[in-house]
Amino acid sequence: MGAVPCYAKSHSQGEYVFDHGWADAFERAGGRYYPKLQASVPFTPATGPRLLVREGEDANRDLLAAGLRNLTDRLGVSSAHVTFADDKDIAALERAGYLMRTDQQFHWANDGYATYDDFLGSLASRKRKALRKERAAAVEHGIIIDRLTGKDLTESVWDDFFSFYMDTGSRKWGRPYLNRTFFSMVGERMADDVLLVMARRNGRYIAGAINFIGGDRLFGRNWGCIEDHPFLHFEVCYHQAIDFAIERGLSVVEAGAQGEHKLARGYMPVTTHSAHYIAHPGLRRAVSDYLDQERREVAEIGDYLEEHGPFRKADPPAG
């Protein structure tokens, strides 16, 4: 009839729906937040189905939403979190009494562009000039950009990329959670669905970003570097992803959450949704109050960013 694949997690790393504050507060009050249940399979911050049902049997989503609540209570864990769920799942989870949470990601949409210059033509003049200068500056000092996929993904390349990942992860999160074996397994099992954008200087790789190729979209994920160069991050993560999407005819590039700097590169805000069942009544009330305020703030920020995007404004109607 249906299934909800989920993890029992002893931490909150890699989720991009941040509940560390909830965990800290609950444990300071004497509670035990971990383990918790996490429904997000595949485990990546991309919206998709979480309550899996047969086609045409949508009513079973309500059964699954209730079943996940019951399982949480029966196991005695603190909570269940259904992250980056699609609209049908969110509706069922809300009916089942889960707390609703919104956030924002930044996505680039392919409006039938044939070339990157076609995309630039959709931007305001000042933005076009700025991005052309930015891309030229990013590859100064003899930097060459390579796009690697399939058989290009050798163990040597993964060694280089892992060093970038560890450098950025150590500075951003303190303890990166993916190990070197993970990248070898990805290269072995889904190499044709992986795109590494790598920057090379003086014969060695100095920076890179990993992307996953979906049916109609590109998912930008981790980035890192061992040399700092102006604008190289933007070139490797955002501009090259747009180039690739246009060449492949992909509809969307999902650049993930955080970083309003993505806006100037043509990535617009998109609201994402998650649902949370908190077993403890006191913690549930506190989280509910917090989420009420957070949803309002996310909506206000989204409206502001949408208004200040880089695209040309529509011409006013004649007369």
**pLDDT for 319:** 41
**pLDDT for 259:** 72
Q: Which domains does the chain have, with CATH numbers?
A: 2-104+270-307 (3.40.630), 111-250 (3.40.630.30)
Report which of 78, 82, 58 is spatially closest to residue 5, judged by C-alpha positions. 82
Model confidence over 174-193: pLDDT tens digits?
Answer: 578 889 999 999 999 999 99
Model confidence over 189-203: pLDDT tens digits?
Answer: 999 999 999 999 999
Report which of 191, 107, 103 is spatially closest to residue 149, judged by C-alpha positions. 191
Listed as own residue / partner, the contacts of 288-297 with beta carbons closer than 8 Å and 24 or more positions apart are 288/99, 291/99, 291/100, 291/101, 294/101, 294/102, 295/100, 295/101, 295/102
Calpha distance 212→194 (Å, rounded): 5
With a cut of 50, list the residues of the chain below it in pLDDT: 315-319
Q: Exposed e or buried b for every residue in 144-178, given b needs 16+ CB within 10 A?
A: ebeebbeeebeeebbebbbebbbebbeeeeeebee
Calpha distance 290→24 (Å, rounded): 15
Q: What are phi and psi of 130, to 5 degrees?
A: -65, -40
List of residues 6+ apart from 172 with CB closer than 8 A: none
Beta-bridge partners for 147: 197
Helices (H) and strands (E) in the chain, counts: 10, 12
Calpha distance 36→2 (Å, rounded): 21
Contact indicator for 40, 19 with CB cutoff of 8 Å: no
Contact indicator for 94, 276 with CB cutoff of 8 Å: no
